[in-house]
Structure 1
């Protein structure tokens, strides 16, 4: 009898945002997999550490987190092979995923490889966007607002078109794309309405005023509402 593959959302950083369901499944699952850098623990493993008992089989999915898509695909292929072996032998496997598994989540690529062969259950997690809104005390949207969630890696023209069509805008993966985002928002007259946060839920989380921002890490988010506040 085959076992179940679980995609577990562990939230953006604060271990207390892990759901009760996620904690229950982690306590009972014999095999844990998690995306990881080439050395050391990955962030998802660190977030969930308190719920992983000694003696669990662990599968770190090692990858370089670069633009080398071929290398990343090879890492997922290797992980899928190892995970499938456990599932076929009747051992449940929980794959940890920062934020939510199906929202820009690393679990998506394992789901694509394994869901046609094994039972899968996805456990939603708190996304970095929801956590950012809460930390910034900035409601994301209200009434009948349209919301654009934009990876900052998109071209400047694409970003400008999406910004012009939305009431509320979320920029993810900002990092070195900050100058491009700032130019778009300044042209739209929205930069002064930006709310900026980096490393959400971690010990070194920072909230920044837009006029003080010189650079940002990859793990940062900018929220903007065209009205300034969603309730207006």
Structure 2
């Protein structure tokens, strides 16, 4: 059951919740606004692996204030888990009802494929003050690291999720000026084959773990045929090769 307004006790005293866009990985890419809210928050929540660490928590570790209540939201990989977001919204809601400020850490930008949107919907429908603080998205970071502007002039830019079926990927890529293909992971071989079939390999750039110490970037065609890709990887394509041409 989704934790909508009816699942919360009446709101009498309200704190505020903020989804903080903390950037793609490099600690210094957090915005000043997000940093200020982080320092003032009473409670800090963040997504984490079911049985592991939180990348979001690791990104802001140099900036984390001491003595704050922390909430690790254990989220499995795959489709949004309604029960987990329901429970997290209820827990955060209790802090908001007590008048506390809650900062929810979000890798990249909260509203660009970010898990915070599922909390935002639940908290907003329940009548709590909640706001998204924009951050540097992974797509912008990848373009900057690769030295590859995403689009120019009247270019149409598409953001294409790697898990799409091959035929859908092909149709989307066949008629676009520029594309960012995200969520590669176990779908990498399929995506790479589609790009090759369309004759776009020489215009495709690959990058993984952008802005982190483990960052890797290379022209797609230079990767070994049996190469694999992590979830946090991306392929940028422009039909002209470079957007400024």
TM-score bracket for this pair, using the shorter chain length: over 0.9
Per-residue Cα deviation, 1:44-72 (whole angstroms, up to 9, x for no partner):
1111122221110100001232x365xx2
The 1-side partners of 2:73 and 2:218 are apart by 33
* TM-score for the superposition, normalised by structure 2: 0.90
More off after superposition, 55-64 vs 205-214: 205-214
Q: Structure 1: which 5+ runs fail to align? A: none
User: Within 5 A, what are the aligned runs for 1:122-137?
Assistant: 122-137=132-147
Question: What stretches of structure 2 of length at least 5 have no aligned partner?
Answer: 1-12
Q: How far apart in 2 are the matches of 1:161 and 1:64?
A: 30
Q: Look up the SS of the partner of 2:44 in the other structure.
A: strand
2:171 aligned to which of 161, 166, 174? 161
Task: Report the Cα distance in structure 2 between the residues aligned to 1:143 and 1:98, rounded to whole angstroms.
Answer: 29
- Pick from 55, 58, 66: which aligns with 1:46? 58
Residue in 2 that maps onto 1:3? 15
Name 1:171's counterpart in structure 2.
181
Matched, 1:20 2:20: no
- Structure 1's consecutive aligned runs of 4 or more residues displaced over 6 angstroms after TM superposition are none
Aligned length: 229
* CA–CA distance in structure 2, aligned partners of residues 49 and 75 of structure 1: 24
RMSD: 1.2
| Separation in structure 2 between the aligned mates of residue 8 and residue 68 of structure 1, nearest angstrom | 22
CA distance in 2: counterparts of 1:160 and 1:205, whole angstroms: 28
In 2, Cα distance between the equivalents of 1:137 and 1:26? 31
Pair 1:202-2:215 in alignment? no
